[in-house]
Amino acid sequence: MNISVIGAGYVGLVTAAGLAELGHDVVCIDRDQVTVSAINNKTPLIHENGLSNILSRLVPKRLIATTDYKVITDTDLILICVGTPSKPDGSINLRYIKNAAIGLGSVLSSKKGYHVVATRSTIIPNTTKEVIIPIIERYAGNKVGFAYNPEFLQEGKAVQAFFNPQRLIIGELNKRAGNVLLKAFKDIPAAIFRTDLTTAEMIKYASNAFLATKISFINEIANICQRAGVDVYDVVKGLSFDYRIGGEFLNAGIGFGGSCLPKDVAALIYASMNHFGYRPELLRTVLDINEMQPSKMIDIAESKLGSLRNKTIAVLGLAFKPNTDDIRNAPAIGIIKLLLAKGAVVRAYDPQALDNAKRVFPQRVDFCSSAAEAIADSDCVLIATEWDEFKNISLYHGKMVIDGRRALEPSKAKSICDYQGVSW
Ligand code: NAD
């Protein structure tokens, strides 16, 4: 098939690369010329394992990028993968979705024959029906089919997850539209659930709300465990034997970050209260607990060091989780802001996210080229992301270490350093 993908960020580029690997001819359309040139030069701006390898083999044979929407006229299926960030009040910002719909609607107006537009961006229930379809039909009439295909990728393993998703959710305006999407993904082994557009949109939010709830739940339990003198990680081991609970997404620590869980839970709360007339108390608490967790690292540091003014604090890990360079809503970024506000001298290191972090802190943070360099001469080390290289215990001899991610095994760590976990 000929497929166009609008928005070549984490979701769009991984989707485009995956579809090209499946044998389709794919064109990425991004409004950002730098992103487009990077793809065409086979040097993507984002880090995902396996992505560069696909680009190096398939660009320009089956995958190219452009800023020009006109290429859409030569494709059969459009996948919208633009960002849907939060506004300051937590509601979803549909600016990019609307711009993409206008851009592709105006090109589709001159295209003859049937065409399917499927959205993979996360959008609150009813957005396809109430925003995307009216905009595109205003330009292109009713020759367009619509589908919603939520993306469940996990950054850090996105390419691998593309080829082995646990399920494909196809929200479809009608079977004809859904069939085109299914044809594109026909070689992907996954359970398939076909449903209407709005249900598919809600499935994505319910998934992320549930995952966020699991993390805040276990952090609540961890805070109780700590006071009761119990190790929450042993409690999770015990829980995990129960198939109704499972053991995934129950890592106590400094909470969830990233470009999805915080913004999606906030958008669902906002939509629920302002569009659907329901106040979701549980989800509000999920966010409240999550906002509290990172500052526990600072509280522990102050309890050990007193004032942090002029103390040198090493922060290991800037990405919101290992194996990605994504720092959006990363707990480490909030922690560094708090440290700077308290007058601490911050030395930071991350294997992949340094460039992104330097844009957030162009001056006041001392970025290091290794964990050992960041740790040297520090008064205290904060582990904010559990990259494998931070699990090397020999880095921490004689140091004060506050572990936000259970990167280290507490009993071993305590034998060589002054170790404290955030809630264990
Ligand atoms: P991103 O910010 O990495 O990428 C978005 C891209 O869209 C950017 O390159 C931007 O230049 C481009 N863009 C914006 N407006 C455009 C327009 N009108 N025309 C062409 N290009 C345009 O975002 P992302 O992380 O890939 O997320 C995209 C969507 O997928 C969001 O809705 C997000 O919630 C959802 N999602 C993300 C993840 C994830 O892990 N990142 C997982 C599942 C779902």
Domains of the chain are: 2-195 (3.40.50.720), 205-292 (1.10.1040.10), 295-421 (3.40.50.720)
pLDDT of residue 206: 98
User: CA-based diameter of the chain, in Å?
Assistant: 72
For the question of whether the overall pTM of this predicted structure is more than 0.75, the answer is yes
Q: Give nearest CA residue, ligand 1 atom 22.
A: 7
Classify 4 as helix, strand or coil. strand
338-377 residues labelled b (16+ CB within 10 A) or e (exposed): bbbeeebbbbbbbbbbbebbeeebeeebebbeebeebbee
Amino acid (1-letter code) at residue 295: S
Task: Compute the distance between CA of residue 408 and CA of residue 222 in angstroms, rounded to an integer.
Answer: 17
Q: What pLDDT band is residue 423 in, cutting at 50, 70 and 90? A: very high
pLDDT of residue 368: 98
Task: Compute the distance between CA of residue 319 and CA of residue 262 in angstroms, rounded to an integer.
Answer: 15
pLDDT of residue 148: 98
Q: Is 260 a catalytic residue?
A: yes
Tokens of 110: 């001159």
265 backbone dihedrals φ, ψ, rounded to 5°: -65, -40
Q: Which residues pair with 421 in a beta bridge?
A: 403
pLDDT tens profile 134-191:
999 999 988 999 999 999 998 889 999 999 999 999 999 999 999 999 999 999 999 9
pLDDT tens profile 186-225:
999 999 999 999 999 999 999 999 999 999 999 999 999 9
Residue 111 pLDDT > 90: no
Atom of ligand 1 nearest to the CA of 46: 3
pLDDT tens profile 247-274:
999 999 999 999 999 999 999 999 999 9
pLDDT of residue 57: 98
Please tell me the number of Cα atoms within 13 Å of 16 on its side-chain side.
Answer: 35
| Helical axes 295-305 vs 331-341, angle rounded to 10° | 40
Classify 120 as helix, strand or coil. coil
List % helix, strand, coil for the chain (3-state, nearest 5).
Answer: 45, 15, 40
List ligand 1's pocket residues with C-beta within 6 A: 6-12, 29-32, 35, 81-84, 96, 99-100, 103, 121-122, 151, 153, 155, 259-260
Task: Compute the distance between CA of residue 62 and CA of residue 21 in angstroms, rounded to an integer.
Answer: 8
**Average confidence (pLDDT) over 331-350:** 98
Which residue is catalytic, options 28, 81, 225, 260? 260
